[in-house]
Amino acid sequence: MYALIGTWRMCLDGARRGTELLRDGADAGDAVERAILTVEDEPGYTSVGYGGLPDRSGHVMLDAAYMDGRTLRMGGVISAENIRNPIALARKLCGLETNCLLAGRGAEQAAVSFGLPMRDMRTEASMAKWRRAVAEQPEKLSAYQGHDTVCVLALDEAGGMAAGTSTSGLFMKAPGRVGDSPLIGSGFYCDASCGAAAATGLGEDIMRGCLSYEVVSLMKRGASPADACREALETFAGRKKSLGEDAGSISLIALSPSGEYGAATTLKLFPFAAGRGEAAKLYAVSAAKPQYKAVSPEEVENEP
């Protein structure tokens, strides 16, 4: 049984392409890469890849990662510029025994040496948004402003699993700021023997709970993907509460080796795309209604 799950409404087209590939016998890694490439290449999705959110200095700095659930190898790209498809580089780096997590110029040089396409990732729209924010006192920007990561988990017919993430991170982030998305265990984790998970939301919080590893670890001990996501999130939110903090903005997705998927969120609405043995469709969960339900694109049109 093949299956795939990806974060946010923006992932729907890519998730459909991914499930088509899986239906035709592709491996989980190809499906993850295709789904994420589709989002990276679409400038209308303003928090990932081309047209992503600039940092305070006006540069679109990208984070991405890829993990192979059979080998437990991972590859990642941190704070890199001008790489058209950071997920493609992360996947290539995943094949290496050393130097598999590269930052900045090193990542850019690796992309060139692999022959991957480079491009200026800024668009008129992304720079106009940046100019407006600079004019409007950036210190007043909320930390969570439309920054959303595409995370995709896939299972193929042969039992292979893979996970990938890609993001431009927080809008107006400090130059050099890194979130959870390229960090194993925080933004993503994948072990084909027990399951895969990934996170989206405020990286500064997600990293404190190593939430993706926590979800996979709960699945290893027998929890379903949905229960694992809920338990990890509730436990972490409870811990934050004990520190006098609110739950924050965090959403989690997970996939089991049998193709069952699940999600949990602290938000009012968290849409995701998923398919198990069929083309991906849109679903949503909310903090108040933790059971996911199918939604139309119109119902979640205000969500990323």
Positions that interact with ligand SD4 (CB under 6 A): 147-149, 167, 169-170, 179-181, 200-203, 206
Q: Which is nearer to ligand SD4, 148 or 260 (CB)?
A: 148
The least CB distance from residue 235 to ligand SD4, in Å, is 19
Q: How far apart are CA 16 and CA 4, in angstroms?
A: 9
Catalytic residue among 149, 167, 200, 265: 149
Cβ distance to ligand SD4 smaller for residue 33 or 55: 55
φ and ψ at 9, to 5 degrees? -60, -35
Q: Could you tell me the smallest distance in angstroms from the CB atom of residue 120 to ligand SD4?
A: 21
Q: Is residue 182 classed as helix, strand or coil in its secondary structure?
A: coil
First to last CA, the chain: 29
Distance between CA 8 and CA 301 in Å, rounded? 11
> Is the Cβ of residue 30 or residue 303 nearer to ligand SD4 in the bound state?
303
Closer residue to ligand SD4, CB minimum distance, 85 or 149: 149
CB of 136 to ligand SD4, least distance (A): 21
Please identify, using beta-carbon distances, which residue of 18 and 203 lies nearer to ligand SD4: 203
Q: Buried b / exposed e across 186-218, counting CB within 10 Å, b at 16+?
A: bbbbbbbebbbbbbbbbbebbbbbbbbbbbbbb
> What is the token pair recorded at 296?
């139309």
CA distance 263 to 200: 11
Q: Is 98 designated active site?
A: no
Q: How far is CA 6 from CA 39, 88, 94, 176, in A?
A: 11, 17, 20, 27
Q: What span, in angstroms and rounded, lies between the C-alpha atoms of 239 and 303?
A: 28
Sign of CA dihedral 82, 126, 205, 289: negative
What positions carry a catalytic annotation? 149
